[in-house]
Structure formats: C-alpha cells, structure tokens
Structure 1
C-alpha cells in the first residue's frame, strides 16, 4: 500500500457525522434531540455531572456524533441558555413600539407575558439552568450573562417610563422567574398565572388598575392573539 493511500485512510474526517438519528423523538431534528436530552440531564443532575457520552446514550447515537452538532458540552449549554432568553429578546423592539400608541404599561405587560410564556414552555424547565454555578462563574458563559443583563435593563427601562423614576429591572425579573420556581415545585403555570405575574410587575411600577386592564387588552389584541 502506498504511503499516500495510507495517509488518506488514517486522516481523521469530520467527527461523528451520524448517517441516521434513531427515533428518540421523530418530531425533533438530530440537533434538537441532543438539546432535549442535555436539558433533562443538566437540570436533573447538573452540568459537571453530565457527560457527552450520557447525552449520546440518551439520544441513541454514538458519543462522537454529538460533536457533529456541537463542538463541546459547553456549546450545548450555551444554546440551551440562549433559548431561555432569545424568544423574548427578539420581541423587545416590537413590544416597545406598542408603547408609542398604547403606553408603557402595555409594553411592559406584553414583555412579561412573552417572557413568562417562554419560561413556562421551556422543556425540562431549562429556566433553572442560569442558576448553575458554572453559568454564574465561568468565562465562557459571560456572553449569556450579558444578554440576560440586556433583558433586565429592558425591564428597568419600561418600568421607569411607567413610574417616572429609575426602576431596578431585577425586581421585575425576579417576578418573571417565579415561573421557574413554580414549575420546579410541580405547579403548572397557565395563562392566568402569567397574567397575575404581569399584573404584579405593573403594580410594582405604579400602574393603576385601569392601566393594567388596558395593557392586558392591548397585548392580547395586538401581540398574543
């Protein structure tokens, strides 16, 4: 055998591209299956205690196949974290545009309803992932922390417009994230519960009962219908 042929045969290719993803869940793509299993394991066992081998076994693929979709376990967690805030952040411009016609209370109500909806529907309650010690401290998760800070700032900005002075966005964020705690306790978070959280957020910013009623009506008519 020539050295050229030997070299070609020994040269590693792209790692682990799967020819077929077993039917973990036919509704999900291979990438989504990995994220779903990883979410369950990270929430249930923790990030450090979960290996890519266990994620692969949960999906039913080779460990090397995980690396076809994600270059590292960190990247899997980064994507799961992004999914807890991305749907809400993508709506901020649209939500703030509502304020032009309907007022800041409507904008804040809408943002809280969108955010609580994202957290209420997140598979395996992935809203718990930001509390992992690795996410709070490791440098590779700083981009997520910055994005989450943008969301906190948006809450503070909207609340400040309502009350007329500076509002700490963390106050509203903590109300929103009560969804995560409720789910962890086995309590379903339905539309009424989300409305109650949005009402509490507006009340904390000084909105009147009439403003809250109008805000809810506008949100359902224009953003959540």
Structure 2
C-alpha cells in the first residue's frame, strides 16, 4: 500500500512529479488553479488529482489559501535571490551595470517560463492582493526595487527619459509580460533572452548588446546559477 504519510493511504497511485506528497499537492494545485481557476477549484479536487484523501491534504496545508501562498512565493523566490546576489556584487563585479540588469532580467524571465505550469498568471487574482499574502507582495516589491536599483546605473535612454529607475522598471514589466505571452502560447525557448535584450535596447544599450550578453551569462555562472534549457522543459502553456 502506498502511503502519503503515517497512516495515510493513497486512494490511487500518483503519477505527478515530486519527491513528497507536499510537492505533488503543489503541482496539482498549480495545474488546477491555472487551467480551471482558483475560485472554482476545491481542496477535494486537488486531493483527487494527487490521489490522496482530502483529510491527508490538510496534513500538509490547512487551507486553499495556504497552497496559493506557497505557489506565489515560488514564482519570485529564485529571481529575488539572484537579484539580491547581483545587487550585492555590484561594487566588486567586473561586469557592466547594464549587463547586471540584463542578467537579472534573463534569469528571472527564465524562471517564469521554466515551471511545469504558468503560475505567474495567479498574480492577477484579486485574492493575491489581499494582505493575507503580504510576504509574497513584499518579496515581489523588493524584486521590483532591485530592478530599479540596477536600472539607475544604466546609460541614459533616449526612448525612456526621466527618472533613471525607469530603466529597471521597464525591464521588470517586460519580464512579467512573459506570463501573458505564455498564457497565449507565444513563449519560445528564446523568449526570456529576447525580453532581456529588448529591455536593454529600449534603454539605449542596443549597440553593445553582444558584449552585454556575454557579461550577463558570465555573471550568472559566477553566481553559481544555471539557466534551464526551455526546449527540454516542455512547459505547459496554461
């Protein structure tokens, strides 16, 4: 008999990815929330998609909001950690300021495109703006602020004048547009790089884009990160 935890037999064998029942629950919820809708998805349906009893699901998550909170947090965690590391390396790193912004946009955009499900669409839920999810909202705002900080050092942009934080804001917004592109089935393995390039072109750095790309990828490697091959991920477009 397959167990989900002590004394918790499955109703059927799960075929979902995940080393633990908690990971399987998150995968099932991500699928149902992004394809069927958050409001119309019940914890019973999530449990059924995993092959466990509803009571077993509550062993891992007390409410449906707790599941949503974990999924939202996962959309910004890696991008925020990388942006923090990039920002902290500003003074000691040999790469140019524009390459650092490019690296953050490329890494963050790849994270949004590489998951099995397009969880970023959950940003648009009215529920996601509730103070119940204040930790996620604070993390997303910190990530946005780091984009702005990195953008301040980018060369003046004739197409985006004014407050230098706008360079970073432009990059941040373009990266998050990948969520909508993916929902429309328009994301390709090249989309994160194209978005990162576009942000820097609009900031006036198009003439040195080749150099920026090289420094950007080198920085990602130096910070101990890897970019998943989106051609191998086969991410769902929902």
Q: Tell me the TM-score range normalised by the shorter chain.
A: 0.7 to 0.9
> Distance in 2 between the 1:72 and 1:30 partners?
16
For residues 140 and 195 of structure 2, the distance between their equivalents in structure 1, rounded to whole angstroms, comes to: 19
Deviates most, 115-124 or 165-174: 165-174
CA distance in 2, matches of 1:146, 1:131: 16
CA-to-aligned-CA distance 1:71-105 (integer Å, 9 cap, x gap): 21111101100111001111123323166311211
- The number of residues matched between the two structures is 207
Distance in 1, matches of 2:20 and 2:152, equals 42
When the two chains are superposed, the root-mean-square deviation of aligned CA atoms in Å is: 2.1
> What is the match of residue 156 of structure 1?
148
For 1:105, the equivalent position in structure 2 comes to 98
Deviation at 1:177, TM superposition (A): 1.6
Aligned to 1:29: 20
* Deviation larger for 25-34 or 176-185: 25-34
Pairing 1:133–2:126 present: yes
Where structure 2 has 5 or more consecutive residues not aligned to the other structure, the ranges are 157-162, 227-238
Q: Which runs of 5+ in 1 are unaligned?
A: 1-15
Indicate if the aligned counterparts of 2:95 and 2:219 stay in contact, CA closer than 8 A.
Answer: no
Partner of 1:217: 214
Under a length normalisation based on structure 1, what TM-score does the superposition of the two structures give?
Answer: 0.83
Q: Is the alpha carbon distance of 1:18 and 1:148 closer, same or farther for their aligned partners in structure 2, counting shifts above 3 Å?
A: farther
Structure whose residues are more often helix by fraction:
1
- Give the distance between the partners of 1:133 and 1:17, measured in 2 at CA: 37
Residue of structure 1 equivalent to 2:195:
197
Asked whether the 8 Å contact 2:105–2:175 carries over to 1, the reply is yes
